[in-house]
């Protein structure tokens, strides 16, 4: 058992790495870099300022990993020091530093050119594709520790871990010298146990949500901020204030203003805002989970009844539904169901009409996402049960005097469920794929809607991050499916399976 688990974990990690690497290669090799500016709102505004236009374009490409970029001023600061008076001298037109910049950077493999208006030099060098991939993985895992912050303006910064209570009175492990103040805490929000010690860095979003870390976009709340009153102690004094800051996201802030000093005891004063709406991740998880449960509950029930009433009216209606769902495009039956839900049931056909705080917003997207799953589960459980009904052991059980119900639920259903349980991971993967269409159709602010939007906006970091997340969820579902099937059928052993392989 342990050997099998270790082997599957290794295979899972390898699979994630392969998919992520292929995605990185495809994004960086197949998408012309000029297209990343398609949704940029700044570039058109500075189109008539050639120097600023070029600098912005090259800095953006550098941020996205396409090139290495260095200006004449940055090189002078590297040579003389940021505060040296020689930096300004190096930028003078008749300075010999021009030739030094051109010679040195050319020797490093850079292409040296001059800005059209000011004449200042700049250098660019394309980053090799393999180097881009390596840099992405090198920055992927970020570990926070008490020596991450190096602030020359705060040499006496205390470093270490300590127990404290947050604004809500909960016990938490905090630290000083780290990027995040709160390292470990427990609260009443899923998954209840939270930490900031190890975080994934998948880059920053661009052009949508420009500059925001991708995982903050996906996991951060949405909608308007939610203010609440906080009562706490600051430097020995009881204070009360209203804020929408998420205390557990507080990061080190080098310079505090007067408002910060009134609310915080230390430099950990830079936090995300709490909002009234759930995150993209939370919204997609809610709809996907209920859709999956609905697919399994209704699909298996309908399939079992159809098998028990084979060739009768219920079975014919079930088969008609399965054929209908299987024969037409997903988008078409979602549109038909949305029309029915809006006209007959009075439900909103767009999620934002009532928002995430109203349960009615979730009904049509959840049911629409489950329609294909219901048909699939019903089809396969019916097929497996019909096959089992014709097996010799069923005839033998009936000859022993067992009732029809006993034969069905003690033997037929149990054996038919084994392949169904093994197919649950594929149902999870199907739910992820269906979410891309369903969330886009109903304008649900989730990951499924974000993925095609990221593709159309050429948001490379978002495409890579969502592919990574969907891959991890899919592989985890397959792994858990292998474990689950051993509970349904004790005859199946993971250890035995390993030996057989």
Cα–Cα distance between 175 and 194 in angstroms, integer? 15
Q: Is 373 exposed, middle or buried (0-12, 13-18, 19+ CB in 10 A)?
A: buried
Rounded to 10°, the helix 447-456/460-488 angle is: 140
Return the pLDDT at 418: 75
Q: Which residues contact 396 (CB under 8 A, 6 or more apart)?
A: none
DSSP annotation of 1 reads: -
Strand partners for 107: none
Return the pLDDT at 255: 92
| 375 within 8 A of 325, measured Cβ to Cβ | yes
Strand partners for 171: 165
The size of the chain, in residues, is 501
Q: What pTM was estimated for this model as a whole?
A: 0.86
Rounded to 10°, the helix 460-488/424-441 angle is: 140
* Cα torsion 369, 372, 378, 384: sign: negative
Cα–Cα distance between 201 and 26 in angstroms, integer? 20
Predicted confidence pLDDT, tens digits, the chain (501 residues):
677 778 888 888 999 999 999 999 999 988 899 999 988 999 999 999 999 999 999 999 999 999 999 999 899 888 888 778 888 888 877 778 888 898 999 999 999 999 999 888 999 999 999 999 999 999 999 999 999 999 988 988 999 999 999 888 889 999 999 999 999 999 877 678 899 999 999 999 999 998 899 999 998 888 888 888 888 888 888 888 899 999 999 999 999 998 888 889 899 999 998 898 988 988 999 999 999 999 999 998 999 899 888 899 999 999 999 999 999 999 999 999 999 999 999 999 999 999 999 999 999 999 999 999 999 999 988 888 888 777 777 777 777 777 767 777 777 777 777 777 777 777 888 888 888 899 999 999 999 899 999 999 999 999 999 999 999 988 888 888 778 777 776 666 666 444 444
End-to-end CA distance of the chain: 14
Could you tell me which of 168, 217, 181, 157 has the C-alpha nearest to residue 457? 217
Return the pLDDT at 262: 86
Pairing outcome for strands 121-126 and 67-71:
antiparallel
Return the pLDDT at 79: 87
Distance of CA 391 to the CA centre of its chain: 46
Q: Which domains does the chain have, with CATH numbers?
A: 32-134 (no CATH), 143-200+227-273 (no CATH), 280-500 (1.10.3720.10)
């Amino acid at each position: 058992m342990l050997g099998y688990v270790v082997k599957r974990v290794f295979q899972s990690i390898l699979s994630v790495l392969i998919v992520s690497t292929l995605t990185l290669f495809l994004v960086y090799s197949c998408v012309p870099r000029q297209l990343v500016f398609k949704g940029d709102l700044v570039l058109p505004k500075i189109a008539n300022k050639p120097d600023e236009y070029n600098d912005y374009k090259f800095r953006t490409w550098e941020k996205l990993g396409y090139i290495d970029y260095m200006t004449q001023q940055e090189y002078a600061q590297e040579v003389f020091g940021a505060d040296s008076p020689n930096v300004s001298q190096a930028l003078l037109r008749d300075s010999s530093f021009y030739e030094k910049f051109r010679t040195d950077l050319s020797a490093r493999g850079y292409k040296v050119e001059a800005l059209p208006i000011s004449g200042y030099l700049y250098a660019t060098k394309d980053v090799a594709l393999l180097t881009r991939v390596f840099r992405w993985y090198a920055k992927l895992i970020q570990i926070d520790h008490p020596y991450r912050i190096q602030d020359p303006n705060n040499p006496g910064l205390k470093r270490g871990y300590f127990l404290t209570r947050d604004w809500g009175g909960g016990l938490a492990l905090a630290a000083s010298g780290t990027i995040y103040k709160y390292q470990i805490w427990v609260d009443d929000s899923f998954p209840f146990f939270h930490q900031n010690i190890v975080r994934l860095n998948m880059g920053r979003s661009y052009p949508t949500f420009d500059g925001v870390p991708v995982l903050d976009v996906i996991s951060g709340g949405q909608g308007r901020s939610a203010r609440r009153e906080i009562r706490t102690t600051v430097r020995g004094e009881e204070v009360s204030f209203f804020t929408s800051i998420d205390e557990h996201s507080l990061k080190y802030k080098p310079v505090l203003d007067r408002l910060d000093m009134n609310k915080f005891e230390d430099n950990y004063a830079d936090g995300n805002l709490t909002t009234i709406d759930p995150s993209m991740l939370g919204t997609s998880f809610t709809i996907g989970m209920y859709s999956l449960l609905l697919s399994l509950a209704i699909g298996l029930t309908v399939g079992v009844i159809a098998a028990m009433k084979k060739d009768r009216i219920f079975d014919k209606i079930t088969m008609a539904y399965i054929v209908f769902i299987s024969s037409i495009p997903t988008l078409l039956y979602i549109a038909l169901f949305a029309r029915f839900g809006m006209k007959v049931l009075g439900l909103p056909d767009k999620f934002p009409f009532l928002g995430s705080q109203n349960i009615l917003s979730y009904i049509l997207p959840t049911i629409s996402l489950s329609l294909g799953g219901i048909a699939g589960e019903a089809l396969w459980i019916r097929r497996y049960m019909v096959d089992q009904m014709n097996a010799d052991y069923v005839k033998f059980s009936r000859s022993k005097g067992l009732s029809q119900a006993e034969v069905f639920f003690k033997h037929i259903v149990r054996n038919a469920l084994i392949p169904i349980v093994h197919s649950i991971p594929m149902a999870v993967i199907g739910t992820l794929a269906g979410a891309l269409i369903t969330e886009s159709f109903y304008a649900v602010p989730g990951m499924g809607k974000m993925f095609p939007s990221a593709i159309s906006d050429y948001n490379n970091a978002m495409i890579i991050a969502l592919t990574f997340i969907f891959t991890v969820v899919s592989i985890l579902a397959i792994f858990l499916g292998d474990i689950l099937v051993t509970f349904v059928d004790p005859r199946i052993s993971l250890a035995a399976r390993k030996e057989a392989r």
